[in-house]
Structure 1
Amino acid sequence: MKEDHMFAVLKTGGKQYKVSSGDILRVEKLAAEAGETVQFNEILMVDGTVGAPLVDGAGVQAEVIEQIKGKKVIHFVKRRRKHGSKRTKGHRQQLTLLRVTDILASGAGATGVKAAVGAGSVSGAAVEAAAPAPKKAAPKKAAPKADAPKAEAPAGADDLKKLSGVGPALEKKLLEAGVTTFAQIAAWTDEDVAAMDEKLSFKGRIEREGWIAQAKELANG
């Protein structure tokens, strides 16, 4: 619904403007070219209807006249030095000059007119959209665990696992200690047994299991 004698309060660029059809308006720069029609959808009031916070379905359409620069604003910058000095900095705000063409109390969402969006917001969104998504680092493959070196029995060695209580782990310790045959174990003295108990960390096991007697029998075949 369009009415020429309506007024509205719109919001853009963080500011509020009260407008009527035909008004010339300067707002913070919009992403639009001269001659384009844009529509403001943040409407705080239309005639006596106050939004909560916006008036549902309301809109203000305007034609872009041109992109302009505001008056140069000068401000002083003080330098903290022994001999105080000042310098000036100038800034000219980028603005868009518009002519209000229509005020819509309802149905603004169905007009299809380009929304009035700040140039900074659009450029920021465009950059964000154009920026490629960061590539996720491929998960590092765990290095294959190196197999623990096996103590291989030398040629001519006896199968020490035939001794009572000797499994692969204990056989490995015996081989690492240089024990490879039943004949060696059969010839152990008390001192040899004590030293081997310390190496194998199984004190008294050799005697309990009767390795020497077993080794003698096995060595004799």
Structure 2
Amino acid sequence: MFAVIKTGGRQYRVVPDDVLEIGKIAGDVGTIVQLGEVLLVGGESPVLGTPTVAGASVAAEVLQHKRGPKVIAFKKRRRKNSRRKRGYRDEITVLRITEILTNDNKPTIGPRPKREKPIVTEPADGDDEAPKAAKKKATPKKAVAKAAAKPRAKPDAKKAAAKKSDKK
């Protein structure tokens, strides 16, 4: 069974377990929302709406709210030193279609539980794993550079004599 729904000025063909991105709609993440504008319910005997199918709706779970790709509108008038750059990003809601309802039915499938990451427990005995090698600390570069530096050379005798004569 499939349905054609209208939301945000666009039409979508949906089947259960479809994931689709539509314009932003109200609803918290994890809740079930009902989309009421169903234009067609298909299956063995398709039902066309005039303009919508009476009593039909589509239940969907809100997976996330996000922003779409950046769209840049750049206008330029040549030889006039005139240009304008505007950009925007659409607000998007990601939905998972849970079921297609007819005859004014209510959704029977609730929100899916979130998958939790499995917790990896370390073995109680330390014998199962090899001990980790200790990290070696690198010697600081400054200490190495100071040790390698040469002692300062004494000034020439002529320069020293010139300095002494200047002081008198």
Match of 1:28 in 2: 23
Instruction: Kindly indicate which of the two structures has a greater share of residues assigned to helix.
Output: 1
Answer with 1 or 2: which has the greater Rg. Answer: 1
Q: Alpha-carbon deviations, 1:35-60, whole Å to 9, x = none?
A: 01000010000001110111010010
Within the alignment, does 1:66 sit opposite 2:64 as a pair? yes
Match of 1:90 in 2: 87
1:99 to 69, 82, 96: 96
Match of 1:12 in 2: 7
Match of 2:50 in 1: 52
For structure 1, the residue ranges without an aligned partner over 5 or more in a row are 1-5, 114-221
- Whichever residue aligns with residue 69 of structure 1, its letter is R
Q: Alpha-carbon deviations, 1:45-92, whole Å to 9, x = none?
A: 000111011101001000000001111111113369x73332321110
For CA contacts below 8 A with separation 6 or more, give which structure has more relative contact order: 2
Q: How many angstroms does 1:103 deviate by? A: 0.4
- Whichever residue aligns with residue 73 of structure 1, its letter is V
For structure 2, the residue ranges without an aligned partner over 5 or more in a row are 109-168
Give the alignment's TM-score, normalised by structure 1: 0.45
Q: What's the secondary structure of 1:61's corresponding residue?
A: strand
Within the alignment, does 1:40 sit opposite 2:35 as a pair? yes
- The aligned length equals 105
Q: Matches of 1:75 and 1:23 in 2, distance apart?
A: 32
Is the 8 Å Cα contact of residues 101 and 107 (structure 2) preserved in structure 1? no
Q: What's the secondary structure of 1:25's corresponding residue?
A: strand
Computed over aligned residues only, the root mean square deviation of the Cα atoms, in angstroms, reads 2.0
Q: What's the secondary structure of 1:64's corresponding residue?
A: strand
Is the 8 Å Cα contact of residues 99 and 107 (structure 2) preserved in structure 1? no
Q: Matches of 1:13 and 1:76 in 2, distance apart?
A: 25
Match of 1:135 in 2: none
Give the alignment's TM-score, normalised by structure 2: 0.58
